[in-house]
Amino acid sequence: MKKSKKIIASALCLSLVVSASACSGRDESTVTTTTTVATTSNTLDDDLINPVDMEEYVDEDAEALEDPNLTYFGYYDMRVAGDIKPAVKLFEETYGGKIDYVECAWGERIEKLQVLISAGDSPDLVDKEDITFPLLISKNVYEDLTDYIDLSQPHWAGFEDLVEQYGWNGKHCYYPWFATALCDYVYYSNTRFEEYGITTPREHYENGNWTWDTFRDTMIQFIEASPNETVGVYGNITTDTICSTGMPLVSIADGKITNNMKTPEIERAMTFLEDLCRQGLTAKKEGYWGNEIKPLVEGSACFLSYGQYQYESLARERYAEYDFDFVPFPRDPNADEYYYMASTFGYMVPAGSDNVKGAATFIDMIRLCSTDPDLRQEMKSSTMTAKGWSEEQYDRMAEFEKIGNYHIVADFSTGFDADTATLISDMLIDAAFNQDSEGWTVLRDTNINTINTVISEMGE
């Protein structure tokens, strides 16, 4: 890794425990268990099973980079990730350099990044994390890329507002190359809905009638028709429900963090979730966690709400008889339109990187690969091969990447220190899943001053 003489003093202030990933856009099933940092070779070891040839797309007139070599620090090898590999290949073949991979265990990546920055040994590329906004961004952990990426270029069209949502005090450190209106999918079995004679969520959604009310009523109908002891929904439902009002729990604008817990929108969302809980429709208990598909497969749950990762599991051939499908989160009946919790992914440049321009060029290139029709086809083919998806499955998910067709809401409630993020998560879960809970209003009023103090200190 390249050496830099920069010492980023602010990084020394960080003492963080990583919170669980939410809506990161990456497949967490690839998490490594490595406990040491080591630079891997540049051999793309999956070329035999997933060959990607980008030579024909090389721009011979591309301006040469002074330094075409980059170092990526993370928990997965981005160079063999199906959706990213075409951009890696194109970057290396265009500029004649290499992207090295420095491997780190999932649970150690933030702490070790701090050490590297503080030692003047910053990598050039890292993942955007849940705690990037607002915690890490407020500590000046990343380089501003405003002068390196031109949002007026066609491949950034439609992303201008999204980049601004992640702006911080006039700086733009995060240019996500991926965004979707699906943070969590609401999964269900078409087979069982047909067997029970219930209108499917997809029918409701396509008819513009997929609301909190039909969501609740569908669960009740399913439970009444099921021969099993059945729950309504398990998995992730709290922040998705909140964002469907159009109002995030925590928002950021121009570097100002706002706690929206006392707004009518949040109150309405949490009242709805409490009502589901009181009716026994929500479940978070042994066997009913977001990474468990057994209840949905066996028919002891109407819905599972979880990220893209579970689609890869449920779409496998051995589950074909259940014809699993998905829809986005239902609409708040009081909202004028559907609003979706945003899921984004991209790379950021740590403070102290010696090659900000090269890193920004790669970030720009991977966005180009996501939008240019020919390059997008290469990305699609590579992704389908790597993940084993059918074209239909890929296209179904890709439809929600057209974020200009949707209202997406960026929520930052997971982006605090571990204690605060856990406090907020526990409040939401208690209100939505615990029938003996004191209730959202009491939980909010008991803890809001603590949360606001943290927010206030981060804004200083």
Strands 185-189 vs 324-327: parallel, antiparallel or unpaired:
antiparallel
Instruction: Name the domain boundary from 388, 409, 430.
Output: 409
Distances, alpha carbon 451 to alpha carbons 18, 127, 416, 419, 422, in Å: 18, 26, 10, 10, 11
Rounded CA-CA distance 248/242 in Å is 6
Is 3 part of a structural domain of the chain? no
pLDDT at site 173: 97
Residues 21 and 170 in one domain: yes
Please answer whether residues 283 and 301 qualify as being in contact, where contact means their C-beta atoms are separated by less than 8 angstroms. Answer: yes
Beta strands in 40-112 (DSSP E): 70-74, 99-103
Residues 46 and 138 in one domain: yes
pLDDT at site 42: 45
Quote the distance between the C-alpha of residue 382 and its chain's center. Answer: 21
Residues 302 and 451 in one domain: yes
Residue 107 has pLDDT above 50, yes or no: yes
Residue 22 has pLDDT above 60, yes or no: no
Q: How confident is the model at residue 311 (pLDDT cuts 50, 70, 90)?
A: confident
Rounded CA-CA distance 214/218 in Å is 6
Residues 294 and 320 in one domain: yes
**pLDDT tens readout for residues 243-267:** 999 999 999 987 789 999 999 999 9
Please answer whether residues 91 and 360 qualify as being in contact, where contact means their C-beta atoms are separated by less than 8 angstroms. Answer: no
452: amino acid identity, one letter: N
Q: How many domains does the chain have?
A: 2
DSSP state of 25: S
| Domain CATH number, residue 353 | 3.40.190.10
Residues of the chain with pLDDT > 70: what percent? 90
Residues 303 and 360 in one domain: no
* Phi, psi angle pair for 439, to nearest 5°: 105, 155
Reading the block at residue 242, the tokens are 């909140």
* Phi, psi angle pair for 173, to nearest 5°: -95, -15
**pLDDT tens readout for residues 143-177:** 999 999 999 999 999 999 889 889 998 999 999 99
What DSSP letter does each residue of 322-340 carry, written as one string? G-EEEE-PPBPTTSSS-EE
Segments forming the whole domain that contains residue 208: 185-341+416-458
For residue 207, the tally of other CB atoms under 10 A from its CB is 10
Among candidates 14, 86, 84, which has minimal Cα distance to 52?
86
pLDDT at site 4: 36
Rounded CA-CA distance 460/454 in Å is 10
Is 350 part of a structural domain of the chain? yes
Average pLDDT of the chain?
A: 89
For residue 451, the tally of other CB atoms under 10 A from its CB is 19
Strands 231-235 vs 301-306: parallel, antiparallel or unpaired:
parallel
For residue 290, the tally of other CB atoms under 10 A from its CB is 17
Residues 65 and 120 in one domain: yes
Residues 429 and 366 in one domain: no
Reading the block at residue 157, the tokens are 């069209």
pLDDT at site 129: 93
Please answer whether residues 362 and 99 qualify as being in contact, where contact means their C-beta atoms are separated by less than 8 angstroms. Answer: yes
Task: Specify the higher pLDDT residue, 253 or 366.
Answer: 366
pLDDT at site 380: 96
Is 151 part of a structural domain of the chain? yes
Residues 65 and 206 in one domain: no
**pLDDT tens readout for residues 30-59:** 333 333 445 444 445 688 889 999 999 999
pLDDT at site 269: 98
What DSSP letter does each residue of 248-284 carry, written as one string? -SEEEETTEEEE-TTSHHHHHHHHHHHHHHHTT-EE-
Instruction: Name the domain boundary from 371, 386, 409.
Output: 409
**pLDDT tens readout for residues 45-103:** 688 889 999 999 999 999 999 999 999 999 999 999 999 999 999 999 999 999 999 99
Rounded CA-CA distance 304/295 in Å is 9
Please answer whether residues 128 and 337 qualify as being in contact, where contact means their C-beta atoms are separated by less than 8 angstroms. Answer: no
Is 135 part of a structural domain of the chain? yes
For residue 143, the tally of other CB atoms under 10 A from its CB is 20
Is 4 part of a structural domain of the chain? no
pLDDT at site 25: 52
Rounded CA-CA distance 426/437 in Å is 11
Residues 157 and 260 in one domain: no
Residues 114 and 244 in one domain: no
Half-sphere exposure of 431 (CA within 13 A, CB side): 25
Is 286 part of a structural domain of the chain? yes
Residues 109 and 35 in one domain: yes
Q: Mean pLDDT over residues 18-35, rounded?
A: 42
Among candidates 310, 413, 306, which has minimal Cα distance to 19?
413
Is 443 part of a structural domain of the chain? yes
Is 200 part of a structural domain of the chain? yes
For residue 162, the tally of other CB atoms under 10 A from its CB is 18
Rounded CA-CA distance 96/64 in Å is 9
Instruction: Name the domain boundary from 392, 409, 426.
Output: 409
To 10 degrees, the CA torsion angle through 62, 65, 71, 77?
10
Rounded CA-CA distance 376/396 in Å is 15
Residues 285 and 148 in one domain: no
Q: Mean pLDDT over residues 290-310, rounded?
A: 95
